[in-house]
Amino acid sequence: MKVKRDLQFDAIVIGGGIAGLQSALDLGDQGYKVAVVDKDATIGGKMIRLSKVFPTLDCASCITTPKMSSAAHHENITLFTYCTLGALDREKPDQVVAQLRQEPRYVDPEKCIGCRKCEYGCPVYVEDDEQGGFNMRKAIYIPFSNAIPQLPVLDVENCSLCGKCAKVCPTDAIRYDMEPEDFTITAKTAVLATGFELSPMEQKPQYGLAKLQNVVSSMQMERLLAPHGPYNRVLRPSDGKEPDSIAYVQCAGSRDESLGIPYCSRVCCMYAIKQAMLLSGALPLADITIYYMDIRAFGKGYEQFYQNAKAMGIEFVKAKVAKITQGDNQTARLRYEDQEGNGGVMEREHDLVILSLGMVPQWDPAGICSVNCGQDGFIQSILPKIAPTVTNIDGVYTAGVAAGPKDIVDTITEAGAAAMEAANYIKGLT
Amino acid sequence: MSEEKKSTAPTVDMKKLRQERNESITGAREKMKVQNKVIKALKEALSKEAKTIPELADIMGMQTDAVLMYVSTLKRYGIIGEGPKDGDYFKYELTE
Amino acid sequence: MANDTQEGKILILATESCAYPGANSVGQAHSSYPTNTYILRVRAPVLFPEHFYMDCFRKGISGIIVMSCGEECPYEGAYHAFAKRIDNVFQLMKKEDLDLRRLRLTAICTVCNRPFLKEVNDMNNLIKELGPPILKGEEAATDTP
Amino acid sequence: MSETKKDESGEEARVGVYICHCGGNISDHVDVEKVAEAVKDIPGVVVSHTDMFMCSDPGQELIQEDINKGNINRVVVASCAPSLHETTFRGAISRANMNPYLYEHANIREQDSWVHHGDPATAKAITLVAAAISKARGLKPLEPIRVDAASHTTVIGGGIAGLRAAVDLARNGIKVALVEKSPFLGGNASQLDRVFPTGEKVADLIEYLTSAVAKDPNITVYTCAELTGFEGYIGNFKVTIKRKAPEDEATQLMLKQVKGAAPGSFHPFVGFYPGDVPAADEEETLTTGVIVFATGFELYEPRQGEFGYGENREVITLRQFIRAMADAPATTETLTIDGRPVRRIAMIHCVGSRQIPGIHEADENDYMNEYCSRTCCTATLQAALEVRDNYPGTQILDYYRDIRTYGHNQEEYYSRASEKNVLFFRYEPEDSPVITKTTGEYPLKVTVVDKLTFNEEVEAGVDLVVLATGMKAKNIDSLVEMMKLPVGADKFLQEVHPKLRPVEMANGGILLAGTCQAPMDINESCNAAQAAAAKAAALLGKGFVELDPFVALVDPDRCEGNGDCIAECPENAISMTPDNKAEVNPALCTGCGMCVAVCSVNGIDVQGWGLKEYENMVDAIVKF
């Protein structure tokens, strides 16, 4: 049994996505020592997995990597990746204690140089969730090319223990017998930036996600559009055909009482428009249709972005899609109620259908942390209008989608606000 | 290099680990067996000329989506490359 | 590369706070424009003395567009001083029998996509029509196209 | 740190060139390998690499490795626009203990691969990289200029955002001058009653902040005040604040309403009254480290005749309606306004927002509000529900384009409105509702082509029309001009980058909070204000600020002491030393370069942006 480490920081940030990173940077820049904890093997959160971002169409990587990189190199910031949070609560006015577990990568982080020889040497292929499940990675792998840290993870569930990776590793970094390691971090203040998952679609079988081959989630589409995507271009997953006709189903898992997700997820209109624009660039001949209830282009420059998309020839149909079934020639058949035009129930076939999925909280604090959540599961502010990042626990703040659906701009701004509250909490202790 | 390497590696009881992880190891080996067979067939099918996914599926007697999964994976690891377009589909070829 | 010089090159001096981001905005819109345009990022074009412009023509640059912030120049008094300088350059160009349209002064802001495209296309058409710059007394030194 | 940096100025330049694929953004159009190959033999170049993402850690490490091996002492990265990653790469170089200013950036994405295609794009990339190399070879190591920073901020605007920022900065130990034009604090929010989605009284929110302001000795409030003077630079701005008794009629009227009230109280639809109106003009000049803009927005004023506004007293704005509702007798079956029963109300969304060229009418300056004002949908539905909840006899017809109840707990307003029988009609901007006077049962008639009922023309008589007017950028032209601030096409103040630096303006030390940047609701304004406060705290916390060293420098060997540069300098940053050489005060120099052009002996140049370097770049452009 190893001696349990207890590390001291001024602030602990739970979540290394764009919200957590921005909070950490804003605290680190003020001179506070910050620990950033992420359950993933890399920081960067959802944003680093996107293709390009609205409304500037900057590549997501170009905006995220500098923040990831400056957090990683910041003299006041320490990253703890691949760590799960067992407990977090305030114990004294100047002490928040987090129980953490370092999950084993089976790779010695001190020795690994990130050369990926192990990955190339590994003989087992495993479906790669990072690529929307459209292609396979190895059983030992670096999550993606711009992951931070550049350390591989051995997926023990799929490892045949053949020893190939250890054999090819130039620095002897493979540790097949690595064990999880528990440790605690004590800080004065904490920021919960735990982010989101996509709305679960299992309860909506009539949309056919994961059953119909050419019905994909918006996140899968991000991968198809991303520079390091599974096909390096947009193809129909069922057979590799370049799609001629693409459709977006809006509010799939948002504004839907039947799923228990009555709220608007704020970003789906804009990301669908963005993807549609990128698609019409990549596939100039393809017809792109967006089936929507209301287009919510509310942010700075968003409405103009929407109007541009209309001008580009992207078709917007106000309709509620009822059902998606298998069509002829591997198409997906949409059955929808047309709310404009002639009205009534209509059917149309598309090569590829994207469900614009909403956001649900990624983290459930039950049993881990006494922070209050709303009925929707997002962390609740006790002063939602005037100090949106303040939670029911003294000196514990929340930022980004952990506190409710938000786009990147609003997330980054809120992360700055949480950092301000956290910094002032520390100031108030003395 | 390799001499030095062995000396610094801590000793791991591989036998014990193999016993403990027997289930996942067996699963991974089964998976590998199937994968190797498909990859071999795929390489063979591409050995003479570039082919599209439906063409490959025909030859290999597999579903088109499964073939695409393999082709894109091998493309990722540099074994297969993308060739010219043929109608709505791209052709794929071996890189070596 | 080499064949590019045949069509003449356009030098663009673009201010860091207005025109240079303006040119980037054209890029973000993926609007294409002639390739023979070379944008140099400047803080304020007032830095360049008269001889800089004449040297450029002498070196073979066919056209120069100074894209400034115009009246919104962030530097006190700089725009005024710059406008005066350009007048001096025009005088020198006259002396050398250079077509004055080869030097163009224009204000481009960060979102001026259309004006940017118009300026570069106009200049490109002009230098095609005029051919390479020949300074008085230097005819012999210039390559015949 | 600075002494550990290698001083390469004496050494021969050895340039490392790094070309980014940008994940296809560049390499799809520019043959990056060919570029790397073409520039590797340019004199001075010792390495020439490409990478999928130069900005990623492995990309940056590529540069650092070459530096650490001692291979290179100049760096050129060819990638996206320098505004995105110039500082990223300077940072990477710095971490490898090389002077970060021995760096030049070639923009081959926005100014090449995104605008050109095929071989010419590759050829241009080669030229641009060659030019960058020629500049890099002549670069000299520079050190940032360190200036003392006053632990003081000036917050302009006493609305919610300004109050929020002031409170946070003061709690952080930074002194704050809170400058508000009117005699009241609370800004636009004071004109509201209850706020969505919590239903809290806006008075409580404002008083929460104003009581913190009143308590904190770090905050000095200047009401009836404006910024009339501005000079200096980050850490050391000098601002002049002028206080003056308000003269305009509207403010006089509001002051009348609070007459006799105790200072330090909130007055609905007026604001928080700190209670000090200057009798005579007062002026004060302060040294301040950072300026936070929280100047807020202005409500769109419908044009005469727009939806019948100004022509019918029954057509009012949402703000006027909220005011009228607060004064209306409660617990009656039907809402009564101005003594008239209101049986049916038409609420029209997107008035002065989402305007479309060719459909809507531009203003006299050929400008229109093309953006969404973000808050009006929920505010309209909130008002509609309040009517339906309290006055069941009053019907609501809602005319919308898209319902944008996007925010946390706001969708509920939409679903509840349907449950409460608010009738929705969807219109296209080219078929906007038409308001006409009638002599029938109702004073006004609304006609619209309803998209929801197969484009049928629907007519309805109403007692009242409520226009959900949007937000407009406030006219702060004098400040924009005085401080030379960047303004967007939508006339709101412009941030450096919406994601990289969302609360900063390009002008160092000037930050953004709230609706002076874009439409926002109260919660979003508070977030922005707190984020700006965090930035200010980081800037001022160390007691000094480091500035870019891109300022003029005199070469004493060349300087002939004729004083031309001194006469030319608009900032009075140059003086003559006793031995008759010009000398630059780097804290005052803005690096504009006016001095450079007038020096006949090239004895003064802007560091990092030197004339000689430009000449070298032109040579490269001509040659390649």
pLDDT tens-digit profile of D304-336?
Answer: 999 999 999 999 999 999 999 999 988 789 999
Q: In the structure, what pLDDT confidence band is assigned to residue D472 with cuts at 50, 70 and 90?
A: very high
Q: Is residue C4 part of a domain?
A: no
Report pLDDT for C3: 38
Q: Which residue has the tokens 């009227």?
A: D253
Domain membership flag for residue D621? no
pLDDT of C6 reads 54
What is d(CA D165, CA D158) in angstroms, rounded to the nearest whole number?
Answer: 10
User: CB distance C30–D568 less than 8 Å?
Assistant: no
> What is the rounded end-to-end Cα distance, in angstroms, of chain C?
16
Q: Which residues of C touch D120 (CB under 8 A)?
A: 4, 35
Chains with 3+ CB–CB pairs under 8 A to B are A
Tell me the residues of A at the B interface, defined by beta carbons under 8 Å apart: 120, 123-127, 134-137, 139, 156-161, 163, 166, 170, 172, 175-177, 213, 230-233, 235, 237-242, 244
DSSP state of D474: -
Which of A9-23, B25-39, D307-321, D495-509 comes out lowest in average pLDDT? D495-509
* % chain D with pLDDT above 90: 84
Q: Tell me, yes or no, whether C90 lies in a domain.
A: yes
CB contact under 8 A, C31 and D115: yes
Instruction: Tell whether A255 lies on the interface with D, counting CB pairs under 8 A.
Output: yes
* Half-sphere exposure of residue A42: CA atoms within 13 angstroms, side-chain side: 27
Q: Is D12 exposed, middle or buried (0-12, 13-18, 19+ CB in 10 A)?
A: exposed
Could you read off the pLDDT of D244-258 as tens digits, one per residue?
Answer: 999 899 999 999 999
- Same domain as D80, residue D30: yes
- Cβ-based contacts under 8 A for chains A and C: 3
Residue C84 falls within a domain, yes or no? yes
Mean pLDDT, residues C70-87 taken together: 80
Q: Are both D462 and D492 inside the same structural domain?
A: no
**Do D and C have ≥3 inter-chain CB pairs under 8 A?**
yes
The pLDDT-based confidence of C73 (bands split at 50, 70, 90) is: low
Which pLDDT belongs to residue D6? Answer: 43
Per-residue model confidence (pLDDT) at position D10: 60
**In terms of residue numbers, what domain contains A137?**
104-179
Are residues C28 and A281, on separate chains, in Cβ contact within 8 Å?
A: no
CATH no., domain B3-94: 1.10.10.10
d(CA C38, CA D128): 7
| Claim to verify: residue D466 and residue D524 sit in the same structural domain | no
3-state per-residue secondary structure call for A167-209: HHCCCCCECCCCCCEEEEEEECEEEECCCEEECCCCCCHHHCC
Assign C121 to helix, strand or coil.
helix
DSSP string, D56-124: SHHHHHHHHHHHHTT--SEEEEEES-HHHHHHHHHHHHHHTTB-TTSEEEEE-IIIIITT--HHHHHHH
Mean pLDDT to the nearest integer, D191-198 = 95
pLDDT of C74 over the 70 cut: no
Q: Is residue D487 a part of any domain in this protein?
A: yes
Q: Cβ contact (<8 Å) for A303 and D60?
A: no
Q: What is the CATH number of the domain that holds D370?
A: 3.50.50.60
Q: Is residue C136 part of a domain?
A: yes
**Option in A63, A68, A378 nearest D500 (CB):** A63
pLDDT over 90, % of chain C: 59
**What domain range is C99 assigned to?**
9-141
Percent of chain B with pLDDT over 90: 77
Residue D491 has pLDDT above 80, yes or no: yes
Helix (H) or strand (E) run with residue A80 in it: strand A77-80
Residues in chain A where the model's pLDDT stays below 50: 1
**Is there a single domain that holds both residue D379 and residue D453?**
yes
Rounded (5°) CA angle A163-A164-A168? 120
Q: Which of D499, D518, D545 is the last residue of a domain?
A: D545
Segment D538-555, tens digit of pLDDT: 999 999 988 889 999 999
Q: How far apart are CA D370 and CA D373, in angstroms?
A: 9
Do A371 and A403 fall within a single domain?
yes
Which residues in chain A are closer than 8 Å to B89, comparing Cβ atoms? 239-242
Residue that finishes a domain, picked among D512, D545, D578: D545
Which one-letter amino acid corresponds to residue A426?
I
Residue D220's SS3 state is: strand
Task: Tell me the pLDDT band of C140, cut-offs 50, 70 and 90.
Answer: very low
Using an 8 Å CB-CB cutoff, list chain C residues near D121.
35
Q: Which amino acid is at D67?
A: I
Under an 8 A CB cutoff, do C30 and A56 touch?
A: no
Q: Which chains touch A (3 or more CB pairs under 8 A)?
A: B, C, D
Nearest CA in chain D to C49: D597
Chains B and D touch (3+ CB pairs under 8 A): no
- What pLDDT is stored for residue D57 in this prediction? 83
Q: Are D158 and D564 in contact (CB under 8 A)?
A: no
Nearest to C78 among D83, D594, D618 (CB): D594
Q: Which band of pLDDT confidence, cut at 50, 70 and 90, is reported for residue D617?
A: very high
Q: Is A115 on the interface with D (CB under 8 A)?
A: no
Checking ipTM against 0.85, whether it exceeds it is: no
Same domain, D320 and D459: yes
If you average pLDDT over every residue of chain C, what do you get?
Answer: 85
Q: Is the CB of residue D295 less than 8 Å from the CB of residue D301? A: no
Number of domains in chain C: 1
Domain boundary residue, one of A327, A342, A358: A358
- Domain end residue (candidates: A343, A358, A373): A358
Interface test with A, best of D88, D369, D406 (most A CBs within 10 A): D406
Chain C residue with Cα closest to D135: C40
Identify the bridge partners of residue C131 per DSSP, sorted by sequence position. Answer: none
D-facing residues of A in 208-247 (CB < 8 A) are 226-228, 232
Please tell me which chains touch D, using 3 or more CB pairs under 8 Å as the contact test: A, C
Judged by a CB distance cut-off of 8 A, whether residue A300 touches chain D is: yes
CA distance A281 to A298: 24
Together in a domain, A347 and A253: yes
Whether D374 maps to a domain, the answer reads: yes
A162 touches chain C (CB under 8 A): no
CB-based contact, A281 to chain D, within 8 Å? no
Has residue B5 got a pLDDT over 60? no
CATH code for the domain of C33: 3.40.50
Under the banding of pLDDT at 50, 70 and 90, the label for residue D3 is very low
Give a yes or no: residue D124 inside a domain: yes
Q: How far apart are CA A250 and CA A290, in angstroms?
A: 7
Domain identity same for D61 and D195: no
Using the beta-carbon criterion (under 8 Å), do C44 and D484 form an inter-chain contact?
no
Does C107 map to a domain? Answer: yes
Mean pLDDT, to the nearest integer, of D82-94? 88
Residue range of the domain that includes D284: 152-296+474-545
CB pairs below 8 Å between A and B: how many? 102
Q: Which chain C residues are Cβ-neighbours of A56 within 8 angstroms?
A: 28
Dist. CA C12–CA C41, nearest whole Å: 9
Tokens of D605: 């140049």
CA dist., res. A308 & res. C36, Å (int): 29
Question: D64 and D203 share a domain?
Answer: no
* Residue B15 pLDDT > 60: yes
Which of D403, D409, D533 has the CB atom closest to A294's CB atom?
A: D403
- Testing the interface with A: which of B6, B76, B92 to mutate, by most A Cβ within 10 A? B76
Question: Residue A105 and residue A178: Cα distance in Å, rounded?
Answer: 7
pLDDT value, residue C1: 37
In degrees, to the nearest 5, what angle opens at C-alpha B59 toward C-alphas B54 and B63? 50
- Identify the pLDDT of residue C57: 96
Q: What's the structural domain count of chain D?
A: 4
> How many angstroms separate the CA atoms of A305 and D221, rounded?
40
Would you state the structure tokens that stand for residue D137, as one six-digit string? Answer: 């070879």
A20 in the same domain as A130: no
Q: Note the pTM of the prediction, 2 decimals.
A: 0.84
CB pairs under 8 A between C and D: 132
